[in-house]
Amino acid sequence: MSSSRSCFASLAISLVVFMAMVARVPVEGARAFFVFGDSLVDNGNNNYLVTTARADSPPYGIDYPTHRPTGRFSNGYNIPDIISQKLGAEATLPYLSPQLTGEKLLVGANFASAGIGILNDTGIQFANVIRISQQMEFFQEYQQRVGAVVGEEQAQKLVNKALVLITLGGNDFVNNYFLAPITARRLQYNIQDFSHYLIVEYRKILKRLYKLGARRVLVTGSGPLGCVPSQLATTSANGPMRGGASKRCSDIQPPSYSNDSRTKSRAWIRHIYCC
């Protein structure tokens, strides 16, 4: 019970922080919204792919208005949906959706794909997913498509003024480093060095996003990794854990860094993605 409360409290705090961040972004008429990342923000792209990382069957979607699976890895709405509602806009469509044409393009697009990570070798067990490098290429393609509708200059303004959400990192631990007792990445790095490596690679992704025109960017961190359902099944106090021990889900976390390191990282993000 304490484990569930801890997970719920962590999620609640994360959502409060999200809403506070969104509320600080001024709304100047219609604002496009772009989403990049993994299953936490995928709203259906993987439904169009031949992959095992899909959310197209019950119980996914049981609390969605249609009570049917939508491709979201959620019982109902996900974080991008909540942000869209906060902005007073309709939900963005998956980029692979055939419905994303014409004026629908002006709302934005969701490029996220379940199973991917910061690293290209994350989620290889899912085979056909849209890795972050491919998501960036789709973003470029999107801008060309919008340019054909409203002109290149207006397309650039739309992208520059848009709100962008990117959520990555959890799968690099759960579906890569900790995927098995022995993995290539665990042989290559200890957990501290692996985490630093992820930060370095994530920074490259954010710079790439900036070069593509993104200016207002929400960058999320990884939540309690031990609270991921797949991890709860094998590591929680109510289930077996490798090595025979048991922990609360909130005990299984990436390593923490000094306040100085966090301050420098936040300062860099504020410098690159100011307002």
More confident residue, 153 or 9: 153
Q: Tell me the domain boundaries of the chain.
A: 28-220
- Strand, helix or coil at 18? helix
- Please state, for a pLDDT cut of 90, what percent of the chain lies above it: 64
What mean pLDDT value characterizes the chain? 81
| Alpha carbons 250 and 223: distance in angstroms, whole number | 9
Q: Please tell me the predicted confidence (pLDDT) of residue 272.
A: 36
Q: Where are the alpha helices (DSSP H) in the chain?
A: 2-23, 79-87, 132-150, 152-161, 170-172, 184-188, 191-211, 229-235, 259-272
Write the CATH number of the domain with boundaries 28-220: 3.40.50
**How many other CB atoms are there within 10 angstroms of residue 212's CB atom?**
16
Reply yes or no on whether the pLDDT at 27 is more than 80: no
pTM: 0.79
Give SS3 for 123. coil
pLDDT of residue 237: 56
When mean pLDDT is compared across 4-8, 62-66, 92-96, 154-158, the lowest value belongs to 4-8
Give the C-alpha separation, 87 to 25, whole Å.
9
Over residues 203-223, mean pLDDT: 94
- Strand, coil or helix: 31: coil
Work out the average pLDDT over 48-54.
Answer: 94
Q: What is the pLDDT of residue 226?
A: 73
Is the pLDDT confidence value at 50 over 50? Answer: yes
Predicted local distance difference test score (pLDDT) of residue 181? 87
- Per-residue pLDDT of 114-160, as tens digits, reads 999 999 999 999 989 999 999 999 999 999 999 999 999 999 999 99
Q: Poorest-confidence range of 24-33, 96-105, 171-180? A: 24-33
